[in-house]
Amino acid sequence: MSNTKLRVLPLGGLGEIGKNMTVVEYDGSIVVVDTGLRFPTAEQVGIDLVLPDFTYLRERADDIEGIVITHGHEDHLGALPWILRELGTDIPVFGGPLTMAMARSKLDEHRLKETDLTDVTPGEKLELGPFDIELVHMTHSIPDMMAVALTTDLGTMLITGDYKFDQTPVDGKPADVTRLAEMGREGLLLLCGDSTNADRPGFSPSESVAGPGLEAVFGRCKGRIVVTCFASNIHRVQQVIDAAKIHKRKVVLVGRSMRKNINIGRMLGHIEVPDGMLVQPREARDFPDEKLIIVSTGSQGEPLSALRRMAYKDHPQVELHQGDTVVFAATPIPGNERAVNDTIDRLYHIGCDVITAKDAPIHASGHGYQEEIKLMLNLTQPKYVMPFHGDHKRIHLHAELAEAVGVKPENIFKGENGLPLEIDEKGARFGKPERAGMIYVDGVDIGDPTDVALRDRRMLSADGIFVVVATISEQDGSSVADPEIIFRGVPYSQDAEKLLGDIRESVNHSLERAAKDEIREIDLLQQLLHDDLAKFVYERLRRRPMVLPVVVEV
């Protein structure tokens, strides 16, 4: 047996929900499993997407043998274009046919056409440097979900990705429990398992329960129906189409990602749509409300999503009105509850009825509950366990479940992003932490907006900005023209002219004091104006807008 260490470095997905990304190293070679992103929180003002910090990989790009993607959800696939753009489009990428079709679509949008994407089917073996890779079919809320087994001289480790043990999946293909059990009998070195629902007791309901639930809900609706779910949840859209057929309704797909993913699903045979069922959004006005079902993105309250824009009466093609019913065929990802609740409240204000998974069996989670996590542990019988894909609470609960089924406490590793697990013949232990933070996507650029930048954005969004241009004499520092005051987004009292006059007077007073004290340096003058004006505005308005003083010498 080799003395080389197996090193498992999570760059995302531990201590958080989203941006899953894992670096597996052995004998100087690297395989990356998943390249996910997550959406920004409300505090990350002006940020579009949040990626894992892959600085570690920039420095080791030549050692990367390949990237393996477990499935096509954004939190496992979404960062791929940025990573290939930075590390090189010659890195081979592997995944299921649907996953790779979604990856190609993303890369085309980024004009990254010279990429090496390979479709892999369950059970197929890959050799990537010192790694023997096998993908194992699992069930989730998207087709082509596969766990990744990586075998080296030290043994086999399994990264489960997102999974549940659905005995009646919509596509009729349950998880390959036989292969998982074989891995257990052969001896699994390490299990890195999904922790998303480690806080839910029992077994998760089958995805197939959502179909009859949707059908029953549609039967009670008199007017137009809007169903919102993840654009990648092709099985759920199939169930909506099946229920629409029973109730003789047409289906409108709204949202670019929804239309794109359903087209990919139809092309690969994962979704069947009767001829004449789909209607273009611009044609929807030609049909009575009781004959329409709109399937839309926006189940998580994302700011630019179709449903969110409908809720704020800002959508160019769909205008909601009283009598519409909006069906949330998804539950909020932890952290998105406030955005979802805000969207729902706006829908009620319009006059819509809203039905969520609390009101009817219209959603089933794609992640296994506690008994399914125990089943995975018992099937694979790993020597070491490292809970993945969850915040610290869920990782802790997953660790307790592992201990409950007989894994030794010292063999359970509750990690975090940037903390590598190192395994050799002597055992397993955490290694020296590596850099693993966040990279922000702001528009199309990626970078690291500092805390200062985000704080400034929050200040601008809350209290606005004052710009003060003061012109002073080069000889004696006295003011030679009335200060120019510009403000935007500042809440103020009705008498704005008086406020501006008082501000000019305050600025002149500060300049007189500076001239008297013989303060001539521009930087010092600007700092003095900033402090005096910020204090003055707070005393008058009880607000703290951003203050930008500009001093010009003539």
Catalytic residues: 194, 367
Q: What angle do CA 361, 342, 453 make, to 5 degrees?
A: 130
DSSP 496-533: HHHHHHHHHHHHHHHHHHHHHTT---HHHHHHHHHHHH
Tokens of 511: 């300049």
DSSP SS3 for 457: helix
Of the candidates 79, 156, 137, 161, the residue with the CA atom closest to the CA atom of residue 112? 79
Tokens of 85: 């753009």
What CA–CA distance (Å, rounded) separates 212 from 173? Answer: 19
Taken in order 306, 310, 313, 315, the sign of the CA dihedral is positive
Tokens of 148: 């990744």
Number of other CB atoms surrounding residue 502 within 10 Å: 14
Of the candidates 426, 488, 427, the residue with the CA atom closest to the CA atom of residue 463? 488
What CA–CA distance (Å, rounded) separates 259 from 459? Answer: 37
Check if the beta carbon of residue 327 is closer than 8 Å to that of residue 9.
no
Which residues have CB under 8 Å from 359's CB, separation 6+?
none
Identity at 225, one-letter amino acid code: I
The residue to which tokens 């542990």 are assigned: 377
Nearest-10 crossing angle of helices 522-541, 496-516: 140
What CA–CA distance (Å, rounded) separates 235 from 232? Answer: 9
Please tell me the number of Cα atoms within 13 Å of 493 on its side-chain side. Answer: 9
Check if the beta carbon of residue 107 is closer than 8 Å to that of residue 113.
yes
What CA–CA distance (Å, rounded) separates 376 from 160? Answer: 9
Check if the beta carbon of residue 440 is closer than 8 Å to that of residue 49.
yes
Length of the chain: 554
Which residues have CB under 8 Å from 248's CB, separation 6+?
291
Please give, one letter per residue, the 3-state secondary structure of 303-340: CCCHHHHHHCCCCCCCCCCCCCEEEECCCCCCCCHHHH
Identity at 113, one-letter amino acid code: K
